[in-house]
């Protein structure tokens, strides 16, 4: 169990580091960080593109002053976006993520 928790923490820390590089506008540092991550061969829980998209969402929300702390919501949004799915939700956080296909069946 401890290995799994460390593994998940490492992936979240990588995602948050990428978010920080995107937020401050440091593409050279982001590229070096991504090269490092590729060199150590990290195995992600899901597709790497989902973690990358989640990092973009975090950075975008942070830049707009709408930083969100619920990692699960951001992963759900990133997963739906990468897989080109429509997310059905009444949760307001999802409306702040521009490129997400979103439907609210409660308040139509």
Residues 6+ apart with CB under 8 A from 27: 21
Question: Which one has a higher pLDDT value, 70 or 48?
Answer: 48
Asked whether residue 39 is assigned to any structural domain, the reply reads yes
- 67-84 pLDDT tens trace: 776 777 888 888 889 888
- Domain holding 78, by residue range, is 2-103
Please state, in angstroms and rounded to a whole number, the distance separating the CA atoms of residues 7 and 2. 8
Examine residue 108 and state whether it is found in any structural domain, yes or no: no
Can you give the pLDDT at residue 5? 46
When the pLDDT of each residue in the chain is averaged and rounded to a whole number, the result is: 79
pTM score of the predicted model = 0.63
List all residues 6 or more positions away from 76 whose beta carbon is below 8 Å from its beta carbon: 87
Domains contained in the chain, number: 1
> Is a pLDDT exceeding 70 seen at residue 45?
no
CATH code for the domain in which residue 26 is found = 3.40.50
Whether 42 shows a pLDDT value over 70: the answer reads no
Helix 71-82 × helix 48-63 angle, to 10°: 120
């Amino acid at each position: 169990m401890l290995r799994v928790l460390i593994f998940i923490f490492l992936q979240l820390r990588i995602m948050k580091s990428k978010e920080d590089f995107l937020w401050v506008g440091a593409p050279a540092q982001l590229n070096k960080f991504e090269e490092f991550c590729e060199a150590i061969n990290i195995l992600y829980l899901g597709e790497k593109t989902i973690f990358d998209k989640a990092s973009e969402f975090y950075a975008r929300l942070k830049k707009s002053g709408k930083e969100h702390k619920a990692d699960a919501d951001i992963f759900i949004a990133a997963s739906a976006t990468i897989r080109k799915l429509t997310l059905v939700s009444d949760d307001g956080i999802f409306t702040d993520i521009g490129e997400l296909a979103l439907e609210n069946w409660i308040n139509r």
